[in-house]
Amino acid sequence: MAQVLEFKLPDLGEGLTEAEIVRWLVEVGEVVAVDQPVVEVETAKAMVEVPCPYGGVVTARFGEEGAELPVGAPLLTVAVGESAAARPAPDADGGGEAAEPARGGSAGPGGPRTGEPGTGEPRSEGSGNVLVGYGTSEAPARRRRVRPDRAATLAAGARMNGRDRGADPAPEGPVPVISPLVRRLARQHDLDLRELTGSGPDGLILRADVEYALRAAAAQGGRTAVPADGALAAGAVRAPAAGVSGASSASSARSGGIRTPLKGVRGAVADKLSRSRREIPDATCWVDADATELMRARTAMNAGGGPRISLVALLARICTAALARFPELNSTVDTEAREIVQLDQVHLGFAAQTDRGLVVPVVRDAHARDAEALTAEFARLTESARAGRLTPGEVTGGTFTLNNYGVFGVDGSTPILNHPEAAMLGVGRIVPKPWVYEGELAVRQVVQLSLTFDHRVCDGGTAGGFLRYVADCVEQPAVLLRTL
């Protein structure tokens, strides 16, 4: 006898609480193997392929591509057992509760478990190899009851919704809703989803259907008002539809334009930079340096016919050498213990602009790599960043950041630190400029270097010493050779 097991969005680590479905890798009715990737999701850190711990037939998918799901929300259900292959697929792809998990099923980090003593249900073991924190769920929570005084008004709006879309209201049974946001929206406004007819594929109830019903109810004298742009936030104020106040007019005036949700990489960047600005008292110092000799040294290194050395790799070598002399800048502040934690390894982050936004891949143990190894690792991580294949481990754990904003054609910047790091070296564009060289005016390749640092970990003397050493290495690469 086949059992239907529910697979939830696992804990993806690093404190991540939600993920956006980018692409489904399996269809309803398809047979999947244990540990087969079933969905590609995007977190605030990276793209991740999520494998399923069960082998069997996919009976339902919970979430459209582009939907955002919290950790622990259902992803899909799988029929496992001897008769799984013969199990018919549900009418709707991702039909919410169309496939109900086995009662009493549970799972944890040790592997999925189904069946309880006395139920007569066989036991099915999964692989246990699904990142962290997956598992089957208990029976779905009961629907929230509609208050009698609101049922008539909301039902009228729902019936109008069904008539306008040329369909009858959905019958009793599983509600075809896959988005937790839609369920929450309906719950907040005491709306019975069974009264709605979905406009999505196979009658799927979308957010637009819920908002339409609420606006229809408000137009008929209900007490729930929906903003003109259709956005309903949690805890929104409920006000009579009649009598537009000055505040409502101001809200309507702000409803125009393009709205972009702060989620995924953009949301993570916003959260981290806001926290950095709130918590870290940063300061910036800068200096112009003559990079002519560094550029000549790189040209000579690449003339030998071996692997080409990148400029950013040479700058990274200079950074690690400078951090060995000024280790205070390779640290973080433990605010709870009120301690400065000086770190042993240099995990060097570097800013990379991609189609998904700004990401900061991390080169592990940069202090132990030579210029050739650094070049190869920078290239690998940059390619992964642009392809959206970075793992959460490749964008976390940095201790110092190298920010080459010269690629954008600018000379200088005062960046915000990558919390919880204590410092960031900025490198501007390298351009020909008039420069006094050996007592005479000459045209040299000049670059502006800047150091932004957490003033809690050091004072200006340390920061200035670090930046001056970096500038000396840029101007005279032999300085670096003498200190290695």
| pLDDT digit string, tens, across residues 170-181 | 444 556 665 556
Residue among 347, 358, 364, 369 nearest 405 (CA): 358
* Angstrom distance (rounded) from CA 226 to CA 228: 6
Q: ∠351-356-359 over CA atoms, to 5°?
A: 20
Q: Are 392 and 303 in contact (CB under 8 A)?
A: no
DSSP string, 65-110: TT-EEETTSEEEEEEESTTGGGPPPPSSTT-TTSSPPPTT-EEETT
State the pLDDT at residue 65.
Answer: 86
Cis peptide before 420 (omega within 30 of 0): yes
**CATH level 2 (architecture), domain 3-113:** Beta Barrel (2.40)
Beta bridge partners of 290: 446
Please state the pTM of the whole predicted model. Answer: 0.56
* pLDDT averaged per 10 residues, the chain (length 484): 84 72 90 90 76 90 87 90 51 41 39 41 46 40 44 49 45 56 76 78 75 76 42 37 43 66 78 92 96 95 88 96 97 95 96 81 96 95 88 90 92 92 96 96 97 96 97 92 62
Question: Which residue among the candidates 189, 347, 367, 455 is catalytic per the annotation?
Answer: 455
User: DSSP string spanning 7-55?
Assistant: EEPPB-STT--EEEEEEESS-TT-EE-TT-EEEEEE-SS-EEEEEPS--
User: What's the distance, Cα to Cα, between the start and end of the chain in Å?
Assistant: 69
Sketch the domain layout of the chain as residue ranges: 3-113, 148-246, 264-483
Residue 455 annotated to the active site: yes
CA distance 61 to 40: 13
Place of tokens 């050091």: 458
pLDDT value of residue 382: 93
Cα separation, 157 vs 151, whole angstroms: 10
CATH number of 264-483: 3.30.559.10
Q: What is the pLDDT of residue 435?
A: 97
Confidence (pLDDT) at 269: 79
The helix (H) or strand (E) run that includes residue 483 is helix 478-483
Query: Residue 308: what are its φ and ψ, rounded to 5°?
Result: -75, 140
> What is residue 418's DSSP assignment?
-
Residue 141: predicted pLDDT: 42
Residue found under tokens 């073991």: 125
Q: At what angle do helices 207-219 and 148-164 cross, to 10 degrees?
A: 110
Instruction: Count the neighbouring beta carbons within 10 Å of the beta carbon of residue 462.
Output: 16
How confident is the model at residue 324, as a pLDDT? 96
Question: What is the rounded distance in angstroms from the CA atom of residue 37 to the CA atom of residue 30?
Answer: 13
Residue-level pLDDT at 202: 65
Q: Residue 213: left if φ>0, alpha if ψ -120 to 50, beta else—which one?
A: alpha
